[in-house]
Amino acid sequence: MLEIDPRSPVAINDQIKAGLKGLVAKGLLKPGDQAPSVRSLAVTLRVNPNTVARAFRELGQEGFLESRRGEGAYISDKGSRQAKDGFSDLKRALEEALKMARRGGLPWNEIESILRKARGDER
């Protein structure tokens, strides 16, 4: 359901944040639904609970999650809007990568080939 790549240069907690938002964007999780618990995620992702907790806290500050002590965390009503509407972090990251690639001289046809490959891998 949620995948993490511990080798990725992207910080694990950021992967978790993006992953949760992704579940909402894809409709697998809806506003009002309970998010998986910090501890359960920590176990299934084989990650330190603190790392998951950090992601949850930050999502809470962003207004994407509403955490209730002793009860769990819930996707906030704002959640779905934010997740689909914005994508701002993801977009900026992609734009960054593209900008660097172009500055480094990576030609467009190579870039498109990478896109096609990624698209193919998904199926």
Chain contacts with a second copy (rule: CB under 8 A): 3, 5-11, 15, 18-19, 21-26, 58, 61, 66, 68-69, 83-84, 87, 89-91, 93-106, 108, 110-112, 114-115, 118-119, 122
Instruction: Pick between residue 53 and residue 111 the one whose CB is nearest to DNA.
Output: 53
Instruction: Pick between residue 73 and residue 83 the one whose CB is nearest to a second copy.
Output: 83
Q: How far is CA 121 from the centre of its chain?
A: 19
b/e code 35-59 from CB counts within 10 Å (16+ = b): bbebeebbeebebeeebbbbbbeeb
Are 113 and 121 in contact by the 8 Å Cβ rule? The answer is no
53 binds, among DNA, a second copy, none (CB under 5 to 8 A by kind): DNA
Per CB under 7 A, does 50 bind DNA?
A: yes
